Every structure is written in C-alpha cells, then in structure tokens.
C-alpha cells in the first residue's frame, strides 16, 4: 500500500474519531514527516488528496486545517424534503424566499409538467441555508391550477411539500431525478457566496402524484464544496 495512502487513512481515522476536529490546525509537513517517518513529498501528496476530498483546507501563511464535514445529500429510494432530511441529520436550517409569483410557463417547463405552453404556474425561488451558510438555490415550477392559494402561503417557515401534501392533497409518490456536475455562474456566486467557476451539483426533479400528475418541477443548485451526493440502490430479486 503506498505510503501517502496510508497517511491519508491515518488522518481520516483521526478526523472520524474526533481526535482532530473542524477548525483544528494540522501539524506541519515537517512534523508529520518526522512523526510517521516518511518523506515530505509523500506527506504533501497525502495532504493534497485530503484537501481535494474536502477533509482539509489550506490558508496561506497560516497552515492546513480540518474542514467541516460535508453535508450528505442522500437519496435512498424514498421521497423526503430538504428540510426533513437536514433536520433528521441534526442540522439547523433556514429558508429565504427570493421570489414567489404567478407566471406563464414556457415550452420546456410546460413539457416537463405536462401542461400547455402559456398556462399559469407558481414560480418559487428560495435559498436554503444549513448552519447559517447558504447551501442550495432552488427554483420550483408548480402548476397554478393544482394549488392557486399557494401563492399566498408562508414558505419561509413552512415545508413546501408538507403543505402541498396536507393542505392541497398533493402527495409526492414518485420522482424523476437527474444529477450533473456544473460550475458556479455569476448569479450562483452572488447568492451562495462562492467563487465564480466553483464546483456545484445540479439536480433536476419532476415530482408526480400517485395519479401520475406532475405536481412540481424544480432545479436545485448545490454548493460542491459543502456537500456530496449519496445514492443507495437496492436489488429487487
């Protein structure tokens, strides 16, 4: 097993056990080299790998630090809301509504929602924060005819899907999801407070009721430096 890989595993274990905590200053390359009896280039290679995985970060002139753990955007064959998923994982969340308005739908979105071009939709744009950091920008496109009063609802302090389910009897049954890597554009940079060109995850989702009605189409743009996507698959035999 390569020495750099062994050092990576040692440091990962120290992070996972809590011996090294977020914000802690890591020992210098020289100190790690002497402690583990390996060359400094090998130490440098191991640290570079852990930085790329998001476990460490560097500050010029200060050193290498332990990073906060990435948020796990898990998809495990069950439909959960962002709010419920984050609360279940023990995070504090906050929602800011940027726009909540009625619009006429264009062709591409109309096709996804299986409605006619020019029909009304409720357009919702929100920023979701976790532990007081903006994490994801979400744009929802919901057919107006399914829930016209939604335009007046408080969607900063209430779960959208819980409200659709409980108040409007629009219960999510299945979803079609696509995921792809993207880079931050200028608007992403401004609202999520990240660098232009920073890595991001784009999730596009069409949610259907049990009657196969497309109740919502949304696009979520997640920060790549603060989260990872985990998918669990089951083999039905």
- Which run of H or E residues covers position 174? strand 174-183
Q: State which of 66, 85, 117 marks the end of a domain.
A: 66
What residues contact residue 126 under an 8 Å CB cut-off, 6+ apart? Answer: 95, 96, 97, 98, 137, 138, 140, 155, 156
Say yes or no: 201 and 113 in one domain: yes
For the segment 118-172, what is each residue's pLDDT rounded down to a tens digit?
Answer: 999 999 999 999 888 899 999 899 999 999 999 999 999 888 999 999 999 999 9
Tell me, what's the pLDDT at 166? 93
155: number of Cβ within 10 Å: 18
Say yes or no: 151 and 41 in one domain: no
- Which run of H or E residues covers position 30? helix 29-36
Say yes or no: 49 and 135 in one domain: no
Spatial distance between the Cα atoms of 108 and 91, rounded to a whole number of angstroms: 35
Say yes or no: 122 and 174 in one domain: yes
Structural domain contains residue 237: no
Most confident of 14-18, 69-73, 165-169: 165-169
Tell me, what's the pLDDT at 140? 94
Spatial distance between the Cα atoms of 113 and 215, rounded to a whole number of angstroms: 7
Say yes or no: 61 and 115 in one domain: no
Say yes or no: 54 and 77 in one domain: no
CB-side neighbour CA atoms (13 Å) of 19: 9
Q: What is the CATH number of the domain that holds 194?
A: 3.40.1410.10
Structural domain contains residue 192: yes
Two tokens, residue 160: 């959208």
Mean predicted confidence (pLDDT) in 230-234: 62
Say yes or no: 122 and 24 in one domain: no
Say yes or no: 27 and 115 in one domain: no
Q: What is the CATH number of the domain that holds 10?
A: 1.10.10.10
Judged against a pLDDT cut of 90, whether residue 55 lies above it is answered with no
Judged against a pLDDT cut of 60, whether residue 73 lies above it is answered with no
Counting the structural domains of the chain, the total is 2
Q: State which of 46, 66, 86 marks the end of a domain.
A: 66
Q: For the chain, give the mean pLDDT.
A: 86
Structural domain contains residue 236: no
Say yes or no: 185 and 120 in one domain: yes
Judged against a pLDDT cut of 80, whether residue 69 lies above it is answered with no
Say yes or no: 37 and 76 in one domain: no
Q: State which of 13, 33, 66 marks the end of a domain.
A: 66
What residue numbers bound the domain in which 19 lies?
3-66
């Amino acid at each position: 097993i390569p020495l750099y890989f062994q050092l990576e595993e040692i440091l990962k274990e120290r992070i996972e056990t809590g011996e090294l905590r977020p914000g802690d200053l890591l020992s210098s390359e020289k100190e790690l080299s002497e402690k583990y009896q390996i060359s400094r280039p090998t130490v440098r290679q191991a640290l570079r790998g852990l930085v790329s995985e998001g476990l460490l970060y560097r500050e010029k002139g200060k050193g290498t630090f332990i990073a906060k753990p990435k948020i796990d955007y898990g998809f495990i064959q069950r439909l959960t809301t962002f709010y419920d998923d984050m609360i279940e994982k023990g995070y504090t969340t906050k929602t800011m509504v940027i726009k909540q308005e009625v619009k006429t739908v264009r062709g591409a979105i109309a096709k996804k929602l299986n409605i006619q071009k020019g029909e009304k939709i409720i357009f919702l744009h929100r920023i979701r924060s976790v532990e007081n950091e903006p994490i994801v920008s979400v744009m929802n496109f919901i057919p107006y005819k399914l829930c016209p009063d939604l335009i007046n609802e408080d969607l900063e302090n209430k779960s959208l899907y819980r409200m659709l389910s409980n108040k409007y009897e629009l219960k999510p049954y299945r979803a079609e999801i696509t995921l792809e890597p993207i880079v931050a554009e200028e608007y992403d940079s401004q609202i999520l407070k990240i660098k232009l060109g920073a890595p991001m995850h784009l999730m596009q989702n069409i949610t259907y009721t049990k009657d196969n009605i497309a109740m919502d189409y949304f696009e979520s743009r997640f920060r790549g430096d603060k989260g990872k996507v985990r998918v669990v698959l089951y083999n039905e035999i």
